Chains A and B, each alone.
Chain A
């Protein structure tokens, strides 16, 4: 009995680790498309580099994992991850905006 409980405990722990993080807000890709206009200025140009505050190669985000995009935007918003332009962009976003933008960019990319 104790063994079964232990096994169940392990299974639950593993599921919690392996599963997706709890989504704070469900993202809407359609709404995200409208909200992505300001992202496209840099992320919409292949191999784009911005020159301020230093030369920085802008990443491709089409097809990127939604959880990663959301985590990055949250980190820029809180200041935990630093980049002048991205912190300024993220500062304006609500949780719902972040979820929507993440959902929009997560769609697509090569399979």
Chain B
């Protein structure tokens, strides 16, 4: 029984992590490197042509950062930015931006 409880706890922890936990380190990183072009809190791009990120959907952010990291989506800037990121970094950043108010589905 105890073992089963532990297994459930471990599974739920893994589940939480896989959905991206916003760590302080990631928050700091996003407010530095990402904000330089995407603006503070990803809401007001300062570099022409850079997208807003605030409010973007989580899964899109994850798949986009993965695509930049693998090179399947080409961008000299974002490729270089994404290269050193771990899977956990990517999920955490995606979680951070997806939870901010911003982009909406428009019909």
Contacts and interface: CB of A to CB of B under 8 A. Distances in A.
Interface string A43-66: 111110100000011111111110
Query: Is the contact region of chain B dominated by helix, strand, or loop, or is it mixed?
Result: loop
B32 to A, nearest CB: 19
A63 B56 contact: no
Taking chain A's interface residues, is the majority helix, strand, or loop, or is none over half, making it mixed? loop
Interface magnitude class on chain B:
20 to 34
B107 interface: yes
A58 B46 CA distance: 24
B49 A63 contact: no
A67 B49 contact: yes
B51 A64 contact: yes
A62 B103 CA distance: 5
Interface of B: 45-46, 48-52, 55-57, 59-60, 62-64, 73-74, 101-107
